[in-house]
Amino acid sequence: MANMDMSKIIKPWKLDAHPTYIFTNAKLIDPLQAQVIENATIKTSGGKILSVDTNTSNPPSTTDGEIVIDLKGKYICPGLIDCHVHIAVVPGEASLSAYNSMTERVSLIRQPWVLKPMIERGFTSVRDCGGATLAMKEAVDEGVCIGPRLFIAGYALSQTGGHGDMRSSHDQSPCSCGAVSGISRIVDGPSECFRVARDELRQGADFIKIMGGGGIASATDKIENLQFSDEEIKAIVTAAKNNGTYVTSHSYTPQAIQQAIRQGVRGIEHGNLIDAETAKLMAEAGAFLTPTLITHVMSKQLNFLPPVSAAKNDEVLQKGLHAIKIATDAGVTVCFGTDLLGPLHFAQSKEFSVRSQVQTPAQILRSATVNAAKLLMKDNELGQVKEGFAADFIVLNGNPLDDITVLDRTEENILAVIKDGRVLTSKLTDVKVDVLNRP
């Protein structure tokens, strides 16, 4: 009894100490410079990258307990980051309308079925833009379940009758300040906005998400609607900045985007209807754009949306690719996002192929690595395979700088996923998985 590890009795899911790995003979992908570094050796320990060595004349020295893995010329790419997910809208229903009756308990139990496949697709970090809880974030961090590192907004903030208000026009039930509706909380007036934003931060939100314009899934607002007032947005931005973080806004139209940027909002989600003037404003402000095209594609293909939402989906789908080109040409920092809901999560990697119609492989890879890390305010920790950074990377068969769609063909191309210095998935015979499946 004296030698018992009480920490593992108290938390039996606690992970063992990080192994020390030396990955040799790798082709290291640098998304920042859009180049491949031959014959790289990467050493990891304690969840961090200790060194990246490209000096092939001196073979790496090892000590007892270090695990040397010869990658035989396979590619190492930084772990991917999806900047717009909703893990709380889980599979289980065939249409969006069916989710109105799903309870938070049901969602929470099913969320590991969303998270583990994300790791298998190479996503080692994701940014949840409404619905994920601190409990699930901590569960992933502690090893209760396997999944990407979570950055959460808690509940998104919506006005009464806004994109987050899921009541129908005939529903006369009251919706008081801070009431939960789907993945949002309903707030009206600057004082309510300030208080509820603070409350989301108290409950572990890493950033604040607002519904700054009309949406597709909501039945009672139009795409072109502005939602919050300038004063309401300013209050939310102030609460976030006081806590050292930022606000991002669901906005499709130039009007909604411009309103948000002028009130100090740092990120724009979707932005399908952006124009050149608005893109220029975003670039000058240093704002980030996270398009989410695959959700529109899959919602249409699988008939996931009710008729009123399907019509709005068609409108923004047609202009989404053009929006990315406008933003890229204007110098806006574009990030990778998917926004998939319910049974559509499986299509996460297809966003790479969709974007390949208007962006180069290097631009797309940066959007899912270095650009995304900047948006997360973690560009000194994530997005690159670099000394001192988190040991998050994937082993690939092909080079995404030549063909970005290798990241869409995960079964044949993703050979192993390392997150926080642990091997979470592996198809390589000499690379063993560190973390066994959780119960």
pLDDT in tens, 172-214: 566 666 667 678 899 999 999 999 999 999 999 999 999 999 8
Verify that 174 and 283 share a domain, yes or no: yes
Task: List C-alpha distances in Å: 329 to 157, 292, 332.
Answer: 31, 18, 8
> Which residue in this structure is represented by tokens 């790479």?
352
E strand or H helix at 419, and its extent?
strand 414-419
Tokens in use for 185?
């909380």
Verify that 165 and 228 share a domain, yes or no: yes
| pLDDT at residue number 59 | 65
| Contacts of residue 104, Cβ cutoff 8 Å, sequence gap at least 6 | 88
Verify that 335 and 228 share a domain, yes or no: yes
- Domain assignment present for residue 1? The answer is no
* Counted domains in the chain: 2
| pLDDT at residue number 168 | 63
pTM over 0.85: yes
CATH number for position 145: 3.20.20.140
- Domain assignment present for residue 45? The answer is yes
| pLDDT at residue number 99 | 77
| pLDDT at residue number 172 | 55
Question: Biggest alpha carbon distance in the chain?
Answer: 74
Verify that 187 and 218 share a domain, yes or no: yes
| pLDDT at residue number 435 | 87
Strands 267-270 and 208-211: unpaired
Verify that 210 and 289 share a domain, yes or no: yes
Verify that 121 and 62 share a domain, yes or no: no
Q: Which domain holds residue 279?
A: 101-376
- Asked which of 337, 358, 376 is the last residue of a domain, the reply is 376
- Domain assignment present for residue 432? The answer is no
Verify that 211 and 176 share a domain, yes or no: yes
Please say whether the beta carbons of 215 and 165 come within 8 A. no
- The residues of the chain scoring below 70 in pLDDT are 1-2, 56-61, 166-179, 181, 218-220, 439
- Domain assignment present for residue 435? The answer is no
Verify that 160 and 49 share a domain, yes or no: no
Q: Strand locations in 307-371, DSSP E?
A: 333-334
- Domain assignment present for residue 109? The answer is yes
Verify that 338 and 357 share a domain, yes or no: yes
- Domain assignment present for residue 34? The answer is yes
Verify that 311 and 395 share a domain, yes or no: no
Verify that 285 and 395 share a domain, yes or no: no
CATH number for position 60: 2.30.40.10
Verify that 228 and 143 share a domain, yes or no: yes
- Give the C-alpha separation, 387 to 372, whole Å: 19
| pLDDT at residue number 56 | 67
